[in-house]
A and B are shown apart, each in its own frame.
Chain A
Amino acid sequence: MKTYKIHILSIIGVLALLTSCGNNNGKNSSNGALNSSAAEKMYVAPGEQDDYYAFMSGGYSGNLTVYGLPSGRMFKEIPVFSQFPTSGYGYSEETKPMLNTSHGFVPWDDSHHPDISQTNGELDGRWIFINGNNTPRIARISLSTFETEEIIEVPNSAGNHSSSFITENTEYVVAGTRFSVPIPQRDMAISDYKENFKGSLSFISVDPEHGHMDIKFQLLMPGFNYDLSHPGRGKSHGWFFFTTYNTEEAHTLQEVNSSQNDKDFIAAVNWKKIEEYVNNGGGTKMPANYAHNIYDESTHMATTTMKKEVLTVDPLKVPGAVYFLPTPKSPHGCDVDPSGEYIIGNGKLSADLTVHSFDNMIAAIEAEKFDGEAYGIPILKFEDVLAGTVKSGGLGPLHTEFDGKGNAYTTFFISSEVVKWKLGTWEVVDRKPTYYSVGHIMIPGGNSRKPFGGYAVALNKITKDRYLPVGPEMEHSAQIYDISGEKMELIYDFPTHGEPHYAAGCPAELLAPKAKKIYRLDENKHPYAINNPGEAKVVREGNNVHIYMSTIRSHFTPDNIEGIKVGDKVYFHVTNHEQDFDVPHGFAMIGQNTSELLIMPGQTKTSVWEPKQVGVWPFYCTDFCSALHQEMQGYVRVSPANSNIELSWSLGD
């Protein structure tokens, strides 16, 4: 009996050995035809959750989409600069002011570069900022409600592209102009561009408590194109770096005329110095006109304030505040490594990457080793500030991100690949193709002092044959690479929404625990909110009729309304009285010249309807809220303009 037991044990032992060998083989066979380990790495089983949030700009959708990594699943589209009929953003009376600008109501923009707020150079998950490129604006989005809370217009700017990057403690969100323009705007010949146009770099302060934005100062720079920017961090905290192109100051056929100089500049701006200058009363107040829109979570309402003045700073008035670092071949991306030492200029018409050293730059400035000046701004010698050149063999470098382990990952648009290289030795470690023509790359926390690594997401400009064809217009493709090993491994490929430019990512545990589930009814300060369905009423003020309406599963209070007349302007103020997670109600009225409303628990939203025809017109709930959702409807009786029908409302007679 005893020997029998021993035999069984030894058999089990052998089996264990066999299976463990099998496992090891599986893990090492990443080059296998089926590549099963890649599928495992991105697989998030049903009911499980992702490790990271990824926020991808929507580009020409004007919005921001939220994804999970490594699954590539999309969780939400957050409306920012564009009207969003899905929720009523930009259509509801409360949110229309969010899209006000000095040009009037602008229902769309081109959103590019999201950046998560930081404390001590590390992501803190309070807010995410994003720029509107076309009608220059910066938005702040809450990372507890995942809704846009604030939009500030940026005056004296055009093509708000080197934005919206934040400093190490979220002191400032920075917005630079891509197109230089006359400042102030005036009627003048376009051909007089050179020496007359200016490029503004705006430093927008962020209130540490509420996040409210305010333009602290605008630096009026020579009329170049300020393409991208990033903050200094660690030892270079206090500086901001902007790539420039079109230092030729061409005003037409820029494709050719802006590509003549062998080197353009990275502008290094010592914002701490300018801040001090401004705090001591420096700068010139200039008349301006720009919108500042704030959404208040307690009133569920946005308001617009038109601001009439902006403080401008002439860089020549603040000695030592701005220097130019010559950088080859119309650099695009301007990236700073986690230590703050290396400033990388991605020369988009080049095969090489130029890496400048912050220490070299400071040494050159202190030694006053200048190589002339541009419009009075000292130019440092290329050789003096250069730390190294990455000879990559790729073509068209655009953007670089970091993993916090001494590696950098640069995208190459023209040769369609991601190249991994080592900071300091400039040696290329790995390269992997992208599909196709990659723009930005994102590593969670990759633009901070503490990158989280894990995955890199390549955001491509061209899709072609990656997915089933859907006609000429396609969503853009993205690829996820596992970057935990020495070599990158492509683990997933998925379509994104709009045209993501940059993205920002952070660990799930930074945001998930504080994500809001409902709005509290007892904190609802909307002037047209009602505390309970019993307070529902209809009030006529001349031709304006205000309906104080309640929704709770599954009925409207009131659901029968009479006494409305053709020519009235009817405001449906709908309060969702649910206090249960994920129970929104919708509201839609037949023939309404606006979108539906999607009202979250505890929220109040307002929709306007101007009935034009006599009749009895139904409205209904658009969100399948319960088993009785189909019953969630009501009627409004519309009588002729001269009718004497009394205003009345009811529920259940």
Chain B
Amino acid sequence: MKKASIIMIIGSLLLLGLFIYPLWNIQLGAPQYPEPLGMNIYINGIKGQSEFDIQNIDGLNHYIGMKTLPKSSDMWEFSVFPIVIGSMAALGVIIGLLSFFKKVSHRWFLGWFILMTVLGILGMYDFNAWMVDYGTNLDPNAIMKLQNPDGTPMSYKPPLLGHKKLLNFDAYSYPRLGGYLMGLGMLLTLTAFFIGKRSKKNVYEK
């Protein structure tokens, strides 16, 4: 059980990587952008992959009437996400410690994992909703008003995950180091649960 608790603590601490590394990354490459423009999405704001990428993405987006990319103060998410992540990491560590001293059972690990998964799904849902708004809620006076073959206005929503062709741009959307650390952390907490479960079983068998 001690081993499981330590894994639980490590897993929870890996969440803190999100305070240093980006959660997600969206890249935009085009023939005239052999070095793609890109944005790194952190839990507390969006930064350019290269120094002037945000300005240059906004510059290009003005042709199709997209809003400029949000600054940290423009979205409540960027102040709430750090609190949520910080709290979850703290909660995970506390559970791990309590379990280490045999105050709580391994079931708490699963509880933490489920809560974190729900929060993660909510986060992704929110992220996707923002991208839908960003990609479809366009300035009616945009320079270029493009339509799909069926006559509906073209949307420029970047993909939630993977690749999508947007006019001359290839958009790629993938997690970055912070996101991967979070995923690994969650996987560790789930592992901790199973290890805990097995060791308990072993105790009973003995």
Contact = CB atoms under 8 A, between A and B. Distances in A.
A581 B53 CA distance: 11
B52 A580 contact: yes
Contacts of B125: none
B63 A628 contact: yes
18 contacts: A518-B52, A552-B59, A553-B59, A578-B59, A579-B51, A579-B52, A579-B55, A579-B56, A580-B52, A580-B55, A580-B56, A580-B59, A581-B35, A626-B63, A627-B63, A627-B144, A628-B63, A628-B143
Nearest to B37: A580
Interface in A382-440: none
A289 B55 CA distance: 49
Query: What secondary structure prevails in chain A residues at the interface with B?
Result: loop
Contacts of B52: 518, 579-580
Interface in A343-382: none
Query: What secondary structure prevails in chain B residues at the interface with A?
Result: loop
The contact size tier of chain B is: under 10
Contacts of B55: 579-580
Residue in B52, B63, B144 with the greatest tally of chain A CB atoms within 10 Å: B52
Interface of B: 35, 51-52, 55-56, 59, 63, 143-144
A626 B168 CA distance: 13
A578 B144 CA distance: 21
Q: What are the 5 A-B residue pairs with the smallest beta carbon separation, nearest first?
A: A579-B52, A580-B56, A579-B55, A553-B59, A628-B143
B111 to A, nearest CB: 49
A295 to B, nearest CB: 24
A622 to B, nearest CB: 19
Contacts of B63: 626-628
B55 to A, nearest CB: 6
A578 B60 CA distance: 11
Interface residues of A, number: 10
B130 to A, nearest CB: 25
A198 to B, nearest CB: 55
B108 to A, nearest CB: 50
Interface of A: 518, 552-553, 578-581, 626-628
A585 to B, nearest CB: 13
Contacts of B35: 581
A45 B35 CA distance: 19
A340 B55 CA distance: 53
A581 B52 CA distance: 10
Contacts of A581: 35
A276 B56 CA distance: 55
Contacts of A552: 59
Contacts of A626: 63
Contacts of A579: 51-52, 55-56
A33 B51 CA distance: 53
Contacts of A578: 59
Residue in A578, A580, A628 with the greatest tally of chain B CB atoms within 10 Å: A580
Given A579-B56, A580-B59, A628-B143, 9 more contacts: A518-B52, A553-B59, A578-B59, A579-B51, A579-B55, A580-B52, A580-B55, A627-B63, A628-B63
Contacts of B56: 579-580
Contacts of A518: 52
Contacts of B143: 628
A70 B124 CA distance: 52
A644 to B, nearest CB: 35
A410 to B, nearest CB: 43
A113 B52 CA distance: 39
Nearest to B144: A627
A618 to B, nearest CB: 21
A580 B56 CA distance: 7
A483 B142 CA distance: 58
A410 B63 CA distance: 58
Nearest to A631: B143
B20 to A, nearest CB: 25
Nearest to B32: A582
A579 B55 CA distance: 8
B106 to A, nearest CB: 53
A552 B59 CA distance: 8
A579 B50 CA distance: 11
Nearest to A518: B52
A518 B35 CA distance: 15
A611 B128 CA distance: 55
B52 to A, nearest CB: 4
B154 to A, nearest CB: 16
Nearest to A582: B32
A580 B63 CA distance: 16
Nearest to A628: B143
A578 B63 CA distance: 15
B17 to A, nearest CB: 30
Residue in B35, B55, B59, B63 with the greatest tally of chain A CB atoms within 10 Å: B59
A581 B51 CA distance: 12
A553 B144 CA distance: 14
Nearest to B59: A553
Nearest to A626: B63
Nearest to A602: B52
A29 B59 CA distance: 55
A600 to B, nearest CB: 14
A601 to B, nearest CB: 9
A263 B97 CA distance: 96
A578 B55 CA distance: 9
